[in-house]
Structure 1
Amino acid sequence: MIDYLFVYGTLRKRYDLKLKDKLREGWKYVGQAKIGAAMYDIGSYPGAVKDRSGREVVGDVFLVHDPGNVFRVLDKYEGREFVRKKGKVRMRNGQELNAWIYWYNFQPAGKPPIRYKDYLNYLKNKSIH
């Protein structure tokens, strides 16, 4: 069975996170994709919740070669605040994949919505203001 992982926040390819050094051999970047979700600013990271209103979140897809190690490390990193579930992601070329996604596990009430589809763009613009 092939495992894919969709990431939209601090695990993105272009985000500098030391933890990713532990995963270097266990996963491989495949490309950008999007999911139907709403994204919120939880503090120093985002949280996505399923959304059927047409909102989308852009992220990166990785092919997971070593799911035992990768998900052990990431489940610990994400903690109880996030729950890992399979979901549909749409790659840039239109292909749909079933990938693991870490969904925010709480109600985002009171958390500011991120209007950008892309967390990295949101961070760039947030630092300007």
Structure 2
Amino acid sequence: MKTLVFVYGTLKRGGSNHSWIEKQQFVAEARTAPKYRMYDLGGYPGMVRDDNGLSIEGEVWRVDEAGLAHLDVLEDTDGGEYERVKMELAGEWTAQWTAQCVEGYIYLRSVEGRPEVGVCW
């Protein structure tokens, strides 16, 4: 089974960690609903939930189970750095993607003192 995954920052095409996802299937460019904020964590971004947030720019990929496990390692989900959750997306594909359940990675640690980077990394 394949999962739709919203990626941002270094995982996007051209990003420094894109090799972790490049063998999966690119679906489309996308953006979140305006319910997130992105911070500079020192070489990579972290996105946190914020109901008064922004629409973060990224990409949707169709990822197989092995690829998803690989991404979970990169995002250190077992170590508590990120959590994979259902994402809220915006734009023309919102209803279609919501029906298919798009997942993405939310940063779990404190962003206090970290600079906010806007909508695009």
- Pairwise TM-score range, normalised by the shorter structure: 0.7 to 0.9
Note closer, same or farther for the CA distance 1:42–1:54 as it changes in structure 2 (3 Å cut). Answer: closer
Distance change in 2, residues 1:18/1:56 (3 Å) = closer
The CA deviation at 1:5 is: 0.3
Q: Percent identity?
A: 30
Tell me whether 1:71 sits opposite 2:73 in the alignment.
no
**SS of aligned partner of 1:15:** coil
Q: Is 1:82 the equivalent of 2:79?
A: no
How far did residue 60 of structure 1 move?
0.6
CA contact (8 A) 2:38 2:45 kept: yes
Check conservation: 1:13, 1:29, Cα contact below 8 A: no
**Are the counterparts in 2 of residues 4 and 63 from structure 1 also a CA contact under 8 Å?**
yes
Q: What is the root-mean-square deviation of aligned Cα atoms in Å?
A: 1.9
Aligned length: 111
TM-score normalised over the length of structure 2: 0.81
Whether 1:107 and 2:110 are equivalent positions in the alignment is yes
Equivalence for 2:40: 41
Aligned twin of 1:127? none
What TM-score do the two structures reach when normalised by structure 1?
A: 0.77
Provide Cα deviations, 1:18-57, integer angstroms capped at 9, x if missing partner. 6437x51xx2111111113100000110000112114121
Q: In structure 1, the residue corresponding to 2:87 is in which secondary structure?
A: strand
Assess, with a 3 A threshold, how the Cα gap between structure 1 residues 118 and 112 changes in structure 2: closer, same or farther.
Answer: same
Bigger fraction of residues in helix: 1
CA distance in 2, matches of 1:88, 1:47: 16
Question: Is the contact between residue 37 and residue 55 of structure 1 (CA under 8 Å) also seen in structure 2?
Answer: yes
Unaligned runs of 5+ in 2: none
CA separation in 2, counterparts of 1:106 and 1:16? 22
Structure 1 moving runs of 4+ over 2 Å: 16-21
